[in-house]
Amino acid sequence: HKQRGVALMVMLVILVMGLAAALVGSLSTTALKNARQETTAAVLAQAKDALLGRAVSDDNMPGSLPCPDLLTDISGTNVPNDGVADLLSGNDCPSYVGRLPWRTLGLPDLRDGNGERLWYALSPAFRDDNSAQPLNSNTKGTLLVYGADGISLQTEAGYSAVAVIFSPGSPVGSQARSTFAEQNSAANYLDIANSRNNASAAGPFIAGAKSDTFNDQLIFITTRNLMPLVEQRVAGVVKK
């Protein structure tokens, strides 16, 4: 009887230790996820501020933004994924979705919580080229962003996004990021949910619910965010 009692105590101790280890592991995983989300939120906000600052301070065309970094390939000066905005192809950006041009914006090499560089979509009307329509308080963004519930996040007419910044997170589904070609394909970083495709230059985009096939996080800039700042800058110039 005494031996059976000791064995029971040992089993109980092992069970408690196992439960404690599982709880600590769960807490550690949760803490890691929270830390990654905080890092991602911080770099997305930093990128948004940099884009707003760049648009307001542009002397050639206040309110305009640089092309994404994806396709321009000139050895030694501007290559894909170097943080430098693509050069215009004629009067257009080579692609209106690509990586955030962090060097062009004067930023450090921003990475999300999973260590990936940020991606960026631009409304063509706000490209930094004189062929674009004049930028003023009537200029509207053209990029639509939807929430996980399928409802547009731009609830007021005319305030669609000028730019959308994405954190791609870790690979999901069939995404592959090993070769140069794979690394230069938006579809291997940006996800699809509810028939909304974040890898499509024209959108519509989605801030979807996290799942095994979707883990993008995003932030966006609307004309309502941007143009009042541009107007203040231009008014200051006129006043001087």
- Give the pLDDT score at 23: 65
Whole-angstrom distance, CA of residue 234 vs CA of residue 56: 9
Helix or strand (DSSP H, E) at 33: helix 2-57
* pTM recorded for the entire structure: 0.85
Average pLDDT, the chain: 90
For residue 206, give the H/E element and its range: strand 205-207
Residue 145 has pLDDT above 70, yes or no: yes
Confirm if 168 and 112 have CB atoms less than 8 A apart.
yes
What are 67's two structure tokens?
């092309």
User: What pLDDT is recorded for position 151?
Assistant: 86
Query: Which stretch of 6-10, 155-159, 223-227 has the lowest confidence by average pLDDT?
Result: 155-159
- Please give the pLDDT value at position 115: 95
Q: Note the Cα 121 to chain centre separation in Å.
A: 9
Question: Do 206 and 145 touch, CB atoms closer than 8 A?
Answer: yes
pLDDT in tens, 64-104: 999 999 999 999 999 999 999 999 999 999 999 999 999 99
Please check whether residue 42 is in contact with residue 96, taking contact to mean a CB–CB distance below 8 angstroms. Answer: no
Distances (CA, A) of 44 to 47, 50, 191: 5, 10, 17
pLDDT of residue 2: 55
Using the predicted structure, report yes or no on whether residue 13 has a pLDDT greater than 80.
Answer: no
Alpha-carbon distance 45 to 74, whole Å?
Answer: 31
**pLDDT over 70 at 236, yes or no:** yes
